[in-house]
């Protein structure tokens, strides 16, 4: 036994049976998920031999973390040493087995055999095993169980793995039952919300709909009173009170309800009294209303329409039946669903046709009446502008984002997975062919080369010994192992030769800066540098698919770069790639062009805007063709 509280299976027979009976009793009728997990873990550990301790982690919580839900054999026992196995089980989401020595150091091999030869009887330290198994239901990871088996034999380990695997079915079934209960609750809440929305839609008038909803909610949620108020001129006016046909809006009770609703409007958040937790708080006006109603429980949620608060819904219960979080979330959902309905009914009662007619009459009177000279001047200028754009023509240009690239661009990638040891250049540096750009750390490769060289020499020595003993089978095995070692040695030599990265030709480094990554790991194949020549460039334009039909090879254009905005560089369209790429929700075609002359300040990677002239067009077409084409496609789709 290791140190700590003795586990259940080492206790006296009477104590063992009592503990096991208690665990089975809690397992059969658990009061909570934590009690079920604790009893299940206790029963599991009594079935497995050599158990030193066990831990069950449960989650995820609101932050996505997992916490200890059950510990065996003693709740007060520190199980932090099983944390690594728990984290790995949750991360990999599969069963694992980890081996540790007595000094808690992780060992490389799970099987330790007796050493034979010059030191007979010498035995390595027997490791202890940690077994981890995840509990996953319907793609959701609910937790993991980790068992410390101590210095278990292979048969004991296999039996423990089977027991953990079989026993996990109880946890899976429990979490499935909890999932079914939650789904039923959500379905019931959804049905309630649908019925309340149907109640609101049955009434044509706003007041009648608000009263019907208040009565329905009071009945369904067991509330003593439900109040509905709507926003008017920055304040909430109480519109309906459940089971009340009429009320005096000037009474103290209605005033308190209005102040509580105003509090929700001012804070722009739902409120509950008494508060549920730090995230869901109450307000002063709600506390005052609760005190006036014999410390009643209150919930007030805003009625939302398109992000605006159009009203407030307040529910009241006796203090013996406070609102829980599920009911609070249901009330918030009702506020979001009822808000658009109530707002629509309120707009209908305003007379939309009448308002539209008055609005048109007011605009016509302002335009043709004796006043509003500014409106008349703007209208006249607008008319003249419409006539001008339909008559005047201008040269139409296809505009696109453009980048300067080297005519040839060579990528230099990491030849193997390693660490950056030295960086000699960075982006923007001019390099010569064969110049060293960077070096990767080759210390591990040198050690590996020494290891494989030693391995090859050892295999050759075995081959000679087998040849001397005329053991043909041993000779073949030693020869194969020697060839393998020599192949590995050659591979290491090749990697060592490629640890130094050099420039393939004279040019400029356009991508790559490893000066801030010294000592950092790099993956094999990762592009570390890109080198482009200094005397050959090409212009790459990303042309929108709506304008690509206007371009032809040989057309002339001009380019303005962000680094040289006052220099217009003429170019000629050289190639149009008939393949589009998606960027930012739009499709673009790659169009390449050649500069008439390259400036000395040009560098690969410079960006700017290019314009290609494609002919004369009417101004009205230039300014509106994008909208017209979109409307054409929309009408074609729907009509």
Number of domains in the chain: 4
Q: Which residue has the higher pLDDT, 490 or 49?
A: 490
Please indicate, yes or no, whether residues 163 and 48 belong to a single structural domain of this protein.
yes
Residue 608: predicted pLDDT: 93
Q: Which residue has the higher pLDDT, 519 or 610?
A: 610
> Per mean pLDDT, which range of 4-8, 101-105, 186-190, 202-206 is the poorest?
4-8
Q: What is the DSSP letter of 469?
A: T
Q: Is the pLDDT of residue 117 over 50?
A: no
Strand order in the sheet with 527-532: 410-413, 527-532, 507-511, 430-431
Please indicate, yes or no, whether residues 68 and 134 belong to a single structural domain of this protein.
yes
Residue 388: predicted pLDDT: 84
Q: Is the pLDDT of residue 183 over 50?
A: yes
Residue 7: predicted pLDDT: 38
Q: pLDDT confidence of 113, banded at 50, 70, 90? A: very low
Is the peptide bond between 60 and the residue preceding it cis, with omega within 30 degrees of 0? Answer: yes
Please indicate, yes or no, whether residues 336 and 476 belong to a single structural domain of this protein.
no
In this prediction, residues 1-28 reach a mean pLDDT of: 52
Is 575 contained in some domain? Answer: yes
CA–CA separation, 313 and 229 (whole Å):
7
| Bridge partners, 571 (sequence order) | 557, 595
Is 389 contained in some domain? Answer: no
Residue 582: predicted pLDDT: 87
Of the three residues 304, 325, 349, the one that is the final residue of a domain is 349
Please indicate, yes or no, whether residues 464 and 574 belong to a single structural domain of this protein.
no
Residue 612: predicted pLDDT: 92
CA–CA separation, 317 and 108 (whole Å):
64
Q: What is the pTM of this model?
A: 0.41
Q: Is the pLDDT of residue 466 over 60?
A: yes
Q: Are 606 and 561 in contact (CB under 8 A)?
A: yes
Q: Is the pLDDT of residue 9 over 60?
A: no
Boundaries of domain holding 565: 536-632
Q: pLDDT confidence of 115, banded at 50, 70, 90? A: very low
Q: C-alpha distances in angstroms, 215 versus 153, 297, 340?
A: 69, 18, 19
Residue 121: predicted pLDDT: 39
148's torsion region: left (phi>0), alpha (psi -120 to 50) or beta? Answer: beta
Is 207 contained in some domain? Answer: yes
Is 386 contained in some domain? Answer: no
Residue 227: predicted pLDDT: 92
Q: Could you report how far apart the first and last alpha carbons of the chain are, in Å? A: 81
Q: Is the pLDDT of residue 237 over 60?
A: yes
Of the three residues 478, 495, 530, the one that is the final residue of a domain is 530
Residue 23: predicted pLDDT: 67
Please indicate, yes or no, whether residues 153 and 243 belong to a single structural domain of this protein.
no
Please indicate, yes or no, whether residues 520 and 582 belong to a single structural domain of this protein.
no
Please indicate, yes or no, whether residues 66 and 12 belong to a single structural domain of this protein.
yes
Q: Is the pLDDT of residue 42 over 90?
A: no
Please indicate, yes or no, whether residues 343 and 209 belong to a single structural domain of this protein.
yes
What CATH number did the domain enclosing 235 receive?
A: 3.30.450.40
Q: Is the pLDDT of residue 417 over 70?
A: yes
> Per mean pLDDT, which range of 190-194, 297-301, 322-326, 354-358 is the poorest?
354-358
Of the three residues 530, 551, 575, the one that is the final residue of a domain is 530
Chain-wide mean pLDDT for the chain? 80
Is 500 contained in some domain? Answer: yes
What is the sign of the dihedral through the CA atoms of 60, 66, 72 and 74? negative
Q: pLDDT confidence of 15, banded at 50, 70, 90? A: low
């Amino acid at each position: 036994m290791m140190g700590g509280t003795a586990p259940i299976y080492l206790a006296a027979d009477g104590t063992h049976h009592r503990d096991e009976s208690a665990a089975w009793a809690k397992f059969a009728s658990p009061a909570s998920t934590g009690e079920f997990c604790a009893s299940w873990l206790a029963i599991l550990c009594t079935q497995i031999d050599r158990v030193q301790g066990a831990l069950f982690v449960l989650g995820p919580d609101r932050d996505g973390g997992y916490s200890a839900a059950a510990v065996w054999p003693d709740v007060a026992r520190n199980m932090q040493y099983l944390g690594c196995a728990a984290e790995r089980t949750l991360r990999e989401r599969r069963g694992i087995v980890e081996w540790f020595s007595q000094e808690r150091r992780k060992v490389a091999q799970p099987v330790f055999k007796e050493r034979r030869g010059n030191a007979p009887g010498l035995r390595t330290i027997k490791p202890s095993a940690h077994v981890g198994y995840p509990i996953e239901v319907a793609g959701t990871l609910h937790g993991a169980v980790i068992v410390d088996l101590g210095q278990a034999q292979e048969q004991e380990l296999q039996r423990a793995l089977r027991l953990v695997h079989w026993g996990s079915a109880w946890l899976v079934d429990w979490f499935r039952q909890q999932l079914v209960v939650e789904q039923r609750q959500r379905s019931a809440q959804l049905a309630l919300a649908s019925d309340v929305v149907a109640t609101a839609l049955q009434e044509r008038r706003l007041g009648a709909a608000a009263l019907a909803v208040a009565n329905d909610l009071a009945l369904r949620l067991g509330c003593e009173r439900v109040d509905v108020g709507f926003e008017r001129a920055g304040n909430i006016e109480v519109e309906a009170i459940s089971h009340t046909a009429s009320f005096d809006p000037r009474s103290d009770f209605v005033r308190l309800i209005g102040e509580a609703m105003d509090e929700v409007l001012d804070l722009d958040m739902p409120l509950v009294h008494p508060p549920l937790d730090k995230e869901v708080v109450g307000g002063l006006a709600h506390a005052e209303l609760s005190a006036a109603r014999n410390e009643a429980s209150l919930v007030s949620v805003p009625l939302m329409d398109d992000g605006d608060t159009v009203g407030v819904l307040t529910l009241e219960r006796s203090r013996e039946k406070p609102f829980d979080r599920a009911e609070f979330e249901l009330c918030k959902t009702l506020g979001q669903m009822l808000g658009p309905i109530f707002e629509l009914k309120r707009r209908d009662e305003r007379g939309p046709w009448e308002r539209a007619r008055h609005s048109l009459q007011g605009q016509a009177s302002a335009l043709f009446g004796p006043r509003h000279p500014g409106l008349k001047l703007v209208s006249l200028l607008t008319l003249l502008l419409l006539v001008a754009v339909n008559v005047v023509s201008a040269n139409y240009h296809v505009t696109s984002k453009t980048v300067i690239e080297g005519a040839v661009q060579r990528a230099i990638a990491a030849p193997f997975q390693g660490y950056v040891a030295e960086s000699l250049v960075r982006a923007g540096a001019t390099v010569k062919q064969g110049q060293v750009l960077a070096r990767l750390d080759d210390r591990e490769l040198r050690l590996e080369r020494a290891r494989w060289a030693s391995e090859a020499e050892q295999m050759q020595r075995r081959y000679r010994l087998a040849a001397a003993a005329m053991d043909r089978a041993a000779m073949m095995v030693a020869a194969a192992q020697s060839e393998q070692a020599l192949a590995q040695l050659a591979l290491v030599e090749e990697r060592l030769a490629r640890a130094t990265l050099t420039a393939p030709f004279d040019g400029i480094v356009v991508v790559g800066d490893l000066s801030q990554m010294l000592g950092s790991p790099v993956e094999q194949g990762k592009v570390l540098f890109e080198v482009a020549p200094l005397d050959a460039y090409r212009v790459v334009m990303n042309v929108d698919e709506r304008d690509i039909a206007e371009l032809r090879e040989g057309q002339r254009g001009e380019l303005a770069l962000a680094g040289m905005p006052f220099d217009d560089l003429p170019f000629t369209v050289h190639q149009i790639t008939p393949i589009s790429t998606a960027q930012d929700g739009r499709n673009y075609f790659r169009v390449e062009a050649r500069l008439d002359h390259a400036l000395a300040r040009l560098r690969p990677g410079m960006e700017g805007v290019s314009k290609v002239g494609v002919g004369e067009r009417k101004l009205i077409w230039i300014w509106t063709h994008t909208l017209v084409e979109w409307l054409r496609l929309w009408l074609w789709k729907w009509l």
